[in-house]
Amino acid sequence: MKKRIRKLAIKLGAVALIVPVLAGTLGILGRTAEDPEYYVVAYGKSITILTGSGLSAEALAQRCGYDADEYLYEVEACEGYTAVELFEALNVTVTADGETQAFRTTGGTVGDLLSKAGVTVGEEDILSDNETSPVTDGMEIRVHRVTYGEVVEEKTIAHTTKYEDSKDLEKGKEKTKTEGHDGLKRLTYKVKYLDGVETDRELTGEETVTEAVDTVILRGTKVKTTTGSTGTSKTGSSGSTSKNNNSSSSSSSNNNSSGSSSSGSTTKKNGHTVTEKSGTITTSSGEALAYSKIINIKAYAYNYPPGSITASGAPVQVGIVAMLRSTLPQGTHVYVVTNDGKYTYGPAVVGDVPGGDIIDLFFDTLEECYAFGVRQAKVYVLD
């Protein structure tokens, strides 16, 4: 611990003989004229005062100019003299568990001072200095406590929204099938604290308190049907044009559907043309039909699911065509052929409204629509 200088027994009568030895080996720091009977001898950090004056340790130290705040004393009384040993004071603080203690000591190790302070160090506690390190002046020894605790937290389990198609709902409409709600789970953590402040946590348990229930929404797929004003036609067509439906080219070569007109049913065969002469057209079957005018217009092929209703109120079918009312009123009977002579749609009646200044021709299948596509056509307005 502390390094002490050996005590020198000095008799009053032998002072004059000893002084040279002290001066040569230990070094005399001071001697006053007022009291020549005491001497101050220094060795390392410890200071020994030898005197026969009988003064107290504090008085001897003050006589030699040493402040009690800077040194610690040890006194040994001997016959005929007093030996006072002074050690340089080391000011050290120990901080643990939120409390700071101040100490003045002559030396030793960190472990010695912790023992003196009554502070124990746990296996996981963190010490600012090693326990075997020597104490130095101004040292601040700190003990950081490591503790553990358990924390329980509750966390929301977010629910989601799912969609299901429903053929019972009209397209564009939605209906809630199941009202969802969030769930709840409980999480348990082992938490590590350093001086009461959380530094780490480990998940040790997870429990579902309430399961989340997803919201289920039905999304309609049913095509809405509407009933329009009743026309004079015997058959009808779809309320949408080929611009809004499926139309392109395919491999179909024959149309065997029949339409109705004032002159009765006619079998239509692609590739046949009509003979046009002086307000009359003659079909490939030899039937003569009178017409009042010819309208050259772009024709589109289209298809709609069975049961769909036209603006006239009639269901879609071959023989019902769509034209703007400003071009031809509903109920007008017409005969349609393509300008290229490859398609004779035949007799039909205007029963629906297209999406532009065109004529829409209904076909039973998508294949027929693809084969026809879009073509320039002549529309004969029949008398």
248 shares a domain with 360? yes
Query: What is the spatial distance between Cα 91 and Cα 138, in angstroms, rounded to a whole number?
Result: 5
**CA torsion sign, 21 to 23 to 28 to 31?**
positive
Pair (136, 115) in one structural domain: yes
pTM over 0.95: no
Q: Are residues 79 and 121 in the same domain?
A: no
- The answer to the question of residue 162 being in a domain is yes
Here the tokens at position 237 are 């067509």
Do residues 73 and 85 touch, judged by C-beta distance below 8 A?
A: yes
Q: Quote the tokens at residue 60.
A: 């001897």
Domain that holds residue 163: 153-189+205-222
Which CATH number is 136's domain given? Answer: 3.10.20
Determine the pLDDT at residue 64: 66
pLDDT at site 75: 62
The pLDDT, as a whole number, for residue 378 is: 94
Cβ atoms within 10 A of the Cβ of 359, count? 26
275 occurs within a structural domain: yes
pLDDT score, position 360: 94
Domain membership of residue 231 (yes or no) is no
For residue 197, being part of any structural domain is answered with no
Give the residue from 73, 88, 103 where a domain finishes: 88
What type of residue is 340? D
Same domain, 173 and 137: no
- Residue 72 one-letter amino acid: L
The enclosing domain of 264 has a CATH number of 2.40.40.10
* Same structural domain, 280 and 181: no
Q: Does residue 266 form part of some domain?
A: yes
What is the pLDDT, as a whole number, of residue 113?
92
**CATH number of the domain enclosing 179:** 2.20.230.10
Please report whether residue 339 resides in a domain: yes
User: 70: phi > 0 → left, psi -120 to 50 → alpha, else beta; which?
Assistant: alpha
Same domain, 75 and 102: no
228 in a structural domain: no
d(CA 113, CA 141): 9
Tokens found for residue 244: 């809004």
Same domain, 104 and 20: no
> What's the pLDDT at 182?
94
Bridge partners of residue 181, in order along the sequence = 213
**Distance of alpha carbon 12 from alpha carbon 81, whole angstroms:** 8
Co-location of 280 and 356 in the same domain: yes
Specify the pLDDT at position 233: 36
Q: So what's the pLDDT on residue 146?
A: 95
370 and 258 fall within a common domain? yes
Number of domains the chain contains: 4
What pLDDT is stored for residue 83 in this prediction?
Answer: 64
- Residue 274 sits in the same domain as residue 362: yes
Query: For the chain, which ranges sit under pLDDT 50?
Result: 1-36, 43-44, 226-272
- 183 and 284, same structural domain? no
Based on the fold, state whether residues 286 and 184 are members of the same structural domain: no
* pLDDT score at 230: 35
Instruction: Note whether residue 51 is domain-resident.
Output: yes
